[in-house]
Amino acid sequence: MADSSNSPRKVEPRRWSALTMAGAAFGIAIAGQTQAAGPGGFDMQGTEKLWLAQSESGEAGEGGEGGEAGHAEDIDAAVEFLTDLGLIEGHLRAGIALYQAGLADQAITHMKHPQSEIYTELEVHLDQFGAPGFADELIALASAVEGGATVGDAETAFAAVLTKIEEARDHAHAGEAGEAASILGLVRVAAEEYHIGIVDGAVSNLHEYQDAWGFVQVARSVAEHMAGEDDAAEKAFGEKTLAALSELDIALPGVSPEGKPLGDAGMLLGAAAKIELAAYALK
């Protein structure tokens, strides 16, 4: 691992919330500062439900009734489930890209990280939604990379995990708004990782930067799927999200950013704000 002085930090899958415009302005203003509300330099936690809660309940402020409150809890759980799946996939996307680039030592940390820290929490949701687990596939992929398997064999193991992740996603039944919320969550977590990984335009923690890159790749993949749907609102959201994410190409030039111009976390927070605005049209 290139940045051995900084061990991988555990990602908290639920440390995200919908981003208000005021929050976006605040986040962008402080993204480049080192004064911190927490270990990452700025605090992106919150409890807002915003457009997700409104689109599910019909009207804001009515979630206190028993049926609607229970439904909101179901939606929240589905979004957490999708976000957890996205975090695991993001780590693995970074790992396989590094392995393909011949950077096996860096790849190994991304392959082992999901199994040891995220999958345990995910198992609760797998049981809740009746989704099949994929611990064996995760272990097989990590073992392939750690054991120096051919790139082709590693890619086959990676594809097997992706198949299981897609099966699990199908069990979430989160709806378009829930899928959009998971995209937003991934981009916000990516912003937090980027803030740690890149300081003053230079790599401070390579692993955290690579996490951010992987999470945005997953967000892009889900958005591409939504942009290909027939439903006009879903298609429009997917296209707007892809446009917002395309603006991050400068900040995230690849899984190995050395020697390339970089950005700051404010760029990712700005993309999150655009994604949230686009999601208001979803029901």
Spell out a b/e string for 10-33, using b for 16 or more CB atoms within 10 Å of the CB, else e.
ebebebbbbbeeebbeebbebbbe
Per-residue pLDDT band at 76 (split at 50, 70, 90): confident
The model scores a pTM over 0.85? no
The answer to whether residues 64 and 186 touch, using CB atoms and an 8 Å cutoff, is: no
**Three-state DSSP class for residue 252:** coil
Q: Nearest 5°: phi and psi at 255?
A: -70, -20
Residue-wise pLDDT tens digits, 21-42: 333 333 433 333 333 333 334 4
The answer to whether residues 79 and 178 touch, using CB atoms and an 8 Å cutoff, is: yes
In whole angstroms, what separates CA 135 from the centre of its chain? 20
Q: Please give the pLDDT value at position 281.
A: 87
Residue-wise pLDDT tens digits, 111-146: 986 666 788 888 989 999 999 999 999 999 999 999
